[in-house]
Each structure stands twice: as C-alpha cells, then as structure tokens.
Structure 1
Amino acid sequence: MKAIILFGHGARDSRWREPFDRLADLWRVRQSGVPVELAFLEMMQPTIEDAVASLVSQGATQITVVPVFFGQGGHLRNDFPVLLDACKSKYPAIALSATPAVGEDLAVLQAIVDFGARAL
C-alpha cells in the first residue's frame, strides 16, 4: 500500500501547524485511498519516525515524504537525509522516498503567483 508524509519544519506556536492540518485534510478528501500523516523536523509532533511507524502499522509498504518547504535549505540538505536514512534502516522492508521541496515545483510557484494576482 502506498502512503504519503507531509513533512514540515515545525514551530513553537501551535497555530503554525493549522495549514498543515488543512493540507492533510484536503489530501484525505481528494486521495482517500492513500493514507497521509504529518511529520515535523522540530518543535512539533509527530516526528518523521513516528509518522513512518504509524503508516507501517496501517499496512504501508511504499511511503513518499513530501517536504512542505519553500526551498532546499540546510534542513533539507543536511538534517532531513539523516532522518530519512534512519527510517530506512529501521524499516528496511519499506520503500521510503522523498520528493524535492514543494516550493521547487513550477505548479506550486504558479499557484503562488495566481494567489498574488487575485489579491490585486
């Protein structure tokens, strides 16, 4: 079974995660056959390891991690690969992969331009 993790940075203010919760809810409506979990790098739960464990317990065998970051900064270049490799080591039978940061996708950038244009 395929599954997805939406991976964000995390913040001290619990309200920061509200758009992530809405994003996961939208995923569940539009992709109801593919389980989704949120995960955060720091300051919030669940961790990526917790999210992988949850999806594995639901029967996932292929998990794609989508970094909901605007770009590939130090966290995605340095910290994230270490966390992902640790999960791969802990769950060797699970196919774990990751996409580039969402902000590097042209369709996402176009959506931001469209958002700005609607604000005019």
Structure 2
Amino acid sequence: MQAIILFGHGARDVRWREPFDRLIDLWRQQHAGILVELAFLEMMQPSLEEAVTTLGTQGATEIKVVPVFFGQGGHLRNDFPVLLDACRDKFPNIHLSTTPAVGEDLAVLQAIVDFGARAL
C-alpha cells in the first residue's frame, strides 16, 4: 500500500503549522484512498520516524516523502538524509523514497508567480 509524508521544517510558533494542516486536509479530500501524514524536521511533531511508524501500522509498504521546502538547503542536503536512512534501517519492510523539494518544481514556482500577479 502506498502512502505519502509531507515533510516540513517545523517552528516554535504553532500557527506556523496551519498551512500544513490545510495542505494535508486538501490531500485527504482529493486523494482519499492514499494515506498521508505530516512530519517535521524539528520543533514540531510528529517526527519523520513517528510518521513512518503511523503509516506502517496502517499497512503502508511504500512511502514517498515530499519535502515541503522551498529549496535544497542544508537541512535537506545534510539532516534529512540522515533521518531518512535511520528510518530505512528501522523499517526495512517499508520502501522509503523522496522527491525533490516542492519549491524546485516548475508548477509550484508558476503558482507563486500567478499568486503575485493576482495580488496586483
């Protein structure tokens, strides 16, 4: 069974999480048959490991992690691979893969340009 994890940085201010909660709600409305969880690098829960655990207990055998970051900064180049490898070691029966940061996708960049144009 396939599943997805939307992976963000995390922040001290709990309101920072609100767009992520809306994002996961949209996902569930549009893709009800595919399990989804949020996970955060730091300062918020669940962690990547906790999200993999949750999805694994729900029967997920393939999980795609989508970094909801604007670009490939130090966290995605250095910290994220360590967390992902630790999860791969802990959950050998679950195939874990990842996408590039969402901000590297042309459609996402175009959506930002369109947002700016609508603001004028």
Alignment: residue pair count: 120
Amino acid at match of 1:85: D
Distance 2:29 2:119 in 1: 27
Deviation per CA, 1:64-93, whole angstroms, max 9, x where unpaired? Answer: 000000000000000000000000000111
Instruction: Give 1:49's aligned residue.
Output: 49
Stretches (4+) displaced over 6 A: none
Q: CA RMSD in A?
A: 0.3
Distance 2:55 2:118 in 1: 37
Distance 1:103 1:31 in 2: 21
Normalised by the length of structure 2, the TM-score is: 0.99
Normalised by the length of structure 1, the TM-score is: 0.99
Unmatched runs of 5 consecutive residues or more in structure 2 = none
The 5-angstrom pairing of residues 1-120 of structure 1 reads 1-120=1-120
Distance 1:113 1:70 in 2: 14
Deviation per CA, 1:31-88, whole angstroms, max 9, x where unpaired? Answer: 1000100000000000000000000000000000000000000000000000000000
* Aligned-partner SS, 2:32: coil
Percent identity, aligned pairs only, is 80
Deviation per CA, 1:2-56, whole angstroms, max 9, x where unpaired? Answer: 0000000000000000000000000000010001000000000000000000000
* Aligned-partner SS, 1:97: strand
